[in-house]
């Protein structure tokens, strides 16, 4: 059955057609997002939900979205989506951070020019029949210093455009390397340095606990007298009341704001102040940007629903369409490794370490980590997936660490999962053969070569004669057929294991019969999702 997507906000016909061209059923109902009751009634019919800003994806709505796998936001902001609730339900949330980058950067530059030359006020005055030439004395931007807070995708475009205006550019961004700063032609500085030197300041960071009110009263007090502040990023980055006070005192010469702490903004301390230019969140409001983000979200959602490719996800490691075919068998292996240990572990888990050896160490290990954790936790919580399991593991205080190393041993690549509880460590390793099939290659440090099937039986014992015969005879008498049989031991007469691939799950009387022989330390039936 083809995946089904609901488009509940305005999206271009081109984007809607992309879903159809991919063979996805799509219901285009712009405006439905504003009808909360009706949206809640129909949401359980859909695998995907494509939105802009009008639809509110709340915990309550997600609770009714039983089939929903992905929410796609045409645009960068996801304030209208309850990310934690979506993650707990295993719903991927995607945005389109690059479709409106140029448009937003251009709006910031436009704001700089508008504030520098008081264009909106001069325009209104001239329309009113006045000719107040001396009132609107402006300032040149050439040779001035622009301080860019956040030198990521949009911020870097602003830096590039500022160079075209012959401005000096300072950049504050904890993630900006010196090498990258040099390539961008900017001076990397700390925030206080930027505040004290910049003639214009523009913000291009997301709204987080760390960035909220990054320009508060104290920070604004550190700025140069006559500074002009631009915010086309997110409302809440600047303390609007503190900025208004600084403008009224003359410390700040002007401001350009496209975003506000409360939107729609019908009132703000910045409204009607001289030298302040305000716009109604127009950063992404160009025909090109709206078309770009709509097309991008349709492509991303289609790639995920049809091929498992994850792009620009907020709550899930990305898996590109190009790497998905190569990564998929390794994702399945990681799930199997986690599932093995999860089915064997009956006590709280304290820590998880995942070792990537050889070629797999160069793959998307973040996605593989998520798969391993999902496999580990699904035996006790089947509803978890790669999105929700890492979140639940974090909530439970489980420490997850990753190690990568160059090829060692006979395999070109392998993954080893070690799980720590209060009483023991369990480890299992596996690889993917050239046929694309995952295999277990080591359990408890004992080398094996085991094909993975839906129904399996794991036993441990002392290495003594008769084990193979006992297993074969007991299962045979119980009517259980063995598809494959793998043995391994640490040394002669020491610890030994057996891993059997069965045609069906052994019934309880057969398991009891094996335990009653007294030959086995453990007899554990296992189930794996090999679909």
SS3 for 28? strand
Q: Closest Cα partner for 431 from 418, 447, 412, 457?
A: 412
SS3 for 274? coil
Distance CA 471, CA 482 (A): 10
Q: Which residue has the tokens 């199997």?
A: 336
Q: Which residues pair with 523 in a beta bridge?
A: 459
Q: Is 251 a catalytic residue?
A: no
Q: Is 234 a catalytic residue?
A: yes
Distance CA 472, CA 476 (A): 6
Helix, strand, coil fractions of the chain, as percent rounded to 5: 35, 25, 40
Could you tell me the CA-to-CA distances from 103 to 9, 80, 235, 425 in Å, in that order? Answer: 21, 21, 18, 53
Q: Is 281 a catalytic residue?
A: yes
Find out whether 450 and 440 touch, Cβ atoms under 8 Å: yes
Find out whether 457 and 526 touch, Cβ atoms under 8 Å: yes
Both tokens of residue 55? Answer: 């639809």
Distance CA 441, CA 367 (A): 21
Phi, psi of 513 (to 5 degrees): -65, -40
Find out whether 456 and 503 touch, Cβ atoms under 8 Å: no
Q: Which residue has the tokens 């399996």?
A: 456
Active-site pick, 41, 132, 263, 504: 263
Distance CA 487, CA 410 (A): 19
Active-site pick, 281, 336, 455, 489: 281
> Terminal CA-to-CA distance of the chain, rounded, Å?
16
Active-site pick, 89, 234, 439, 455: 234
Distance CA 46, CA 376 (A): 28
Instruction: Give me the active site residues, please.
Output: 234, 263, 281
């Amino acid at each position: 059955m083809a995946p089904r997507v609901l488009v509940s906000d305005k999206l271009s016909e081109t984007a809607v057609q992309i879903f159809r061209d991919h063979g996805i059923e799509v219901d285009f109902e712009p405006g439905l997002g504003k009808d909360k009751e009706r949206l809640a009634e129909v949401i359980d019919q859909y695998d995907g939900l494509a939105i802009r800003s009008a639809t509110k994806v709340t915990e309550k709505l997600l609770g009714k979205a039983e089939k929903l796998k992905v929410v796609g936001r045409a645009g960068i902001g996801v304030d209208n989506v309850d990310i934690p609730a979506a993650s707990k339900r295993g719903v991927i949330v995607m945005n389109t951070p690059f479709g409106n980058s140029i448009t937003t950067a251009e709006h910031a530059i436009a704001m700089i020019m508008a504030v520098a030359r008081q264009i909106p006020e001069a325009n209104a005055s001239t329309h009113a029949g006045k000719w107040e030439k001396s009132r609107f004395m402006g300032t040149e931007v050439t040779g001035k210093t622009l301080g860019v807070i956040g030198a990521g995708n949009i911020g870097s475009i602003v830096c590039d455009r500022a160079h075209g205006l012959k401005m000096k550019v300072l950049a504050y961004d904890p993630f900006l390397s010196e090498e990258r700063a040099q390539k961008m032609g900017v001076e990397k500085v700390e925030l206080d340095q930027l505040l004290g030197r910049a003639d214009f300041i523009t913000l291009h960071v997301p709204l987080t606990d760390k960035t909220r009110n990054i320009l508060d009263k104290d920070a604004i007090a550190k700025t140069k007298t006559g500074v002009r502040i631009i915010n086309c990023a997110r409302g809440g980055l600047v303390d609007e009341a503190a900025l208004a006070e600084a403008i009224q005192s003359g410390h700040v010469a002007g401001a350009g704001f496209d975003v506000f702490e409360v939107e729609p903004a019908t009132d703000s301390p910045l409204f009607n102040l001289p030298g302040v230019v305000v716009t109604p969140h127009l950063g992404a409001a160009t025909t090109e940007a709206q078309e770009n983000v709509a097309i991008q979200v349709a492509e991303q959602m289609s790639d995920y629903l049809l091929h498992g490719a994850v792009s620009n996800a907020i709550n899930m490691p990305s898996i590109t369409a190009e790497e998905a075919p190569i990564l998929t068998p390794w994702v399945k292996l990681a799930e199997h490794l986690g599932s093995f240990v999860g089915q064997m572990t009956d006590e709280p888990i304290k820590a998880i370490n995942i070792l990537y050896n050889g070629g797999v160490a160069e793959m998307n290990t973040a996605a593989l980590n998520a798969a391993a954790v999902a496999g580990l936790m699904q035996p006790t919580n089947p509803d978890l997936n790669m999105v929700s399991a890492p979140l639940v593991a974090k909530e439970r205080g489980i420490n997850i660490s990753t190690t990568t190393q160059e090829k060692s041993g006979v395999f070109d690549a392998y993954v080893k999962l070690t799980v720590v509880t209060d009483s023991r460590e369990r480890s299992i390793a596996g690889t993917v053969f050239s046929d694309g099939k995952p295999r277990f290659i080591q359990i408890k440090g004992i080398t094996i070569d085991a094909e993975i099937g839906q129904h399996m039986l794991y036993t441990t014992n002392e290495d003594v004669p008769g084990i193979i015969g006992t297993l074969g005879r007991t299962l045979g008498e119980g009517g259980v057929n063995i598809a494959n049989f793998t043995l391994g031991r640490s040394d002669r007469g020491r610890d030994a294991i057996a891993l059997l691939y069965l045609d069906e799950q052994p019934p309880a009387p057969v398991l009891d019969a094996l335990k009653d022989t007294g030959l086995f330390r453990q007899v554990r039936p296992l189930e794996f999702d090999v679909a």
